[in-house]
Structure 1
């Protein structure tokens, strides 16, 4: 498709770290025409010139309804990386949808999720939660049935306060899994926590896991914690915390895949970040208003920056899934994703969501980003557009020594 005939995608905050990556990916991967928008004309035009033919720049204020309407005109989809979505409580999303344009927001705006009109909306609910919802879909692709999922997430690197909001909201909506209760079981037929029937102001979303290294009694069955999977990397030397909970995105996939068990752990290296999250988790439901949440987001941003000082940033996700192939063979699949460009990873996920929406592959209504990412296509985009990023998958017959059944997807860019 020529640039002149390609769909137009508008990017609010398009010259920022996330928006800039998404713009480059959408231009290189799909040839979209791009409208780079923001309050700085110089920054917008600078990126548009680097993107080349098919890119234009526009000055836009997301808080101004008339300015936003003018920016949206002619677009097939709008990607919102402006960081103002939560402060505006969904007004940007409603304005874009009212114009019949698809909307992808990189901050959970906290507004009502009811759809309006034929267009689709996608909300990014934090990096950890999004990966928790995408990873089991990647592992289940091609399996006849799936039964049990274990997931781990670890990350280090600074985040902006507006980016921290989505992760904090996701934690408040998650299911708390006390460390002494064993695996988080999802009885067959019951809606797990995090399914559409769950109240958004449910219990706090984390519990410190203290028994991860317990061994079973001699001659007896190991305790539930000892049966859990281990990540393929060593847990950080203390100070660090391992929080176990069930993200809403993973709860949805557990229900759709009819999983019997689902577990999720997040590893937080350093002192500062776990301290802020523990204080958040102690807040009773219903006491976290907009002002308090933004205060926590600013604290978390400072804590992440403090824990990341003199250390290289990274994001690492690992999961295992037990299930049956179409031939009835019991297997365990595993996947490991690693990258060093945290903002770049978010930008790639944003571009994938935009591509799905602009291509008409999403139904109308509001969707979490995790549910919109095509399993293997997303992995391909990650390794194609991020230097030193890898996604490796294996499949091993249960109870036997196996070998990888699909070749590792390795970074195709030098670096």
Structure 2
């Protein structure tokens, strides 16, 4: 929220030509937000949505001058670029220095270097991790009515995935996490701590609401740990799910781990290409399921991971424009009143269905092809 300041541009989107950036623009326009300004690194053959103002100069996140000029007249800036370790805090620093609030689809809290903008958070507001995962997947368990108590209780199982296209930046972020120490892959949260190697990768399995056979990779991210702590859960099992054969083959090839550096770059390029191969002749889909103690749950089905990420970021920007958050930095998954935010997102075209269940997910199987 920009106290005492009026900016002629409501929202500026950095990385607007990418799949996520375009989805942010489309959802902002659908919500009636405007004016909306778009920054691109280079001219793009595909025109931006009608009603968007294209910034006249190219904007590369490594060009501090160009970033500052773009952000100068914006009330809120959305960073839709990645990967997070390449972009770092650059967009946030430029936006906040110009007097804008910020939404970032990346979780910049995982970066090793601290941000230089901490003093500006006395006046400015930043929402990070405003995508699908991190972001919407971490917000959804809040709809299950889980309440933290003095003791740990309950087991939450979350499956996030489907048949996506991983753009190069998203593929790099995913493979970069596979290369990191810390036990995210095959780990479970149990009894208040991370237990490494407790779960196995499940191949060729069938899950409720996921059409066909899938691969489920236990993937205990910091967002999952945050959900466990916030809700006082005894156990959290968090899986990333892939539905394509080519994607599964790439992940199997690197299941022993990766060496940080060029190996990650090569693996990310392979993963991005594999997701396109799996999509040949098939529509993308995305599913998030949350189940508490095997007795109640939630299902969200969507059109595409980029569309859901863009929708989450757009609604985070709307929250800032409406002045609903105090100054400071917080994760999208920690936003107040998650039910209202999710229901608002569910009215958009990126979501096909949102369903709360008072029974186990397996009691309502989805036939293959229904998505």
TM-score category (smaller protein):
0.7 to 0.9
- Indicate whether 1:295 and 2:288 are aligned: no
Q: What's the CA shift for 1:41?
A: 6.4
Query: Is the 1:121–1:365 contact (alpha carbons within 8 Å) kept by the matching residues of 2?
Result: yes
For residues 1-400 of structure 1, the aligned pairs below 5 Å read 8-40=10-42, 47=48, 50-51=50-51, 55=53, 57-62=55-60, 63-83=62-82, 86-108=85-107, 110=111, 112-114=113-115, 115-116=117-118, 117-118=120-121, 119-124=124-129, 127-140=132-145, 147-171=154-178, 172=180, 175-177=184-186, 184-187=188-191, 190=192, 192-193=193-194, 207-209=200-202, 231-233=207-209, 236-237=212-213, 240-283=214-257, 287-289=259-261, 291-322=262-293, 332-362=295-325, 364=327, 366-372=329-335, 374-386=337-349, 389-395=352-358
Given that 2:308 and 2:351 are in contact with CA atoms closer than 8 Å, whether structure 1 keeps it comes out as no
Tell me, yes or no, if the aligned pair for 1:382 and 1:389 is still in contact at 8 Å. no
Q: Confirm or deny: 8 A CA contact 1:314 1:342 kept in the other structure.
A: yes
Number of matched pairs: 346
> In structure 2, how many angstroms separate the alpha carbons of the residues matched to 1:308 and 1:69?
38
Q: Is the 8 A contact 1:129 1:170 kept in 2?
A: no
Instruction: Give the Å deviation of 1:390.
Output: 0.8
Q: Deviations over 1:60-108 (max 9, x none)?
A: 3222211111111121221122447543433233222333322223345
Distance 1:394 1:88, change over 3 A: closer
Aligned-pair distance for 1:153? 2.3
Greater relative CO, 1 or 2 (CA 8 Å, sep 6+): 2
- Give the TM-score of the pair, scaled to structure 2: 0.77
Q: Is the 8 A contact 1:186 1:261 kept in 2?
A: yes
TM-score w.r.t. length of structure 1: 0.70
SS in 1 for 2:248: helix
Q: 1:368 to 1:300 in 2, by over 3 A?
A: farther
Q: 1:7 to 1:57 in 2, by over 3 A?
A: closer
> Aligned equivalents of 2:208 and 2:316: distance in 1?
29
Which ranges in structure 2 are unaligned for 5 or more consecutive residues? 1-5, 365-371
**1:239-271 Cα distance to aligned partner (Å, 9 max, x none):** x42222322211111011101121122332233
Cα pair distance change 1:36/1:102, threshold 3 Å: same
Aligned to 1:197: none
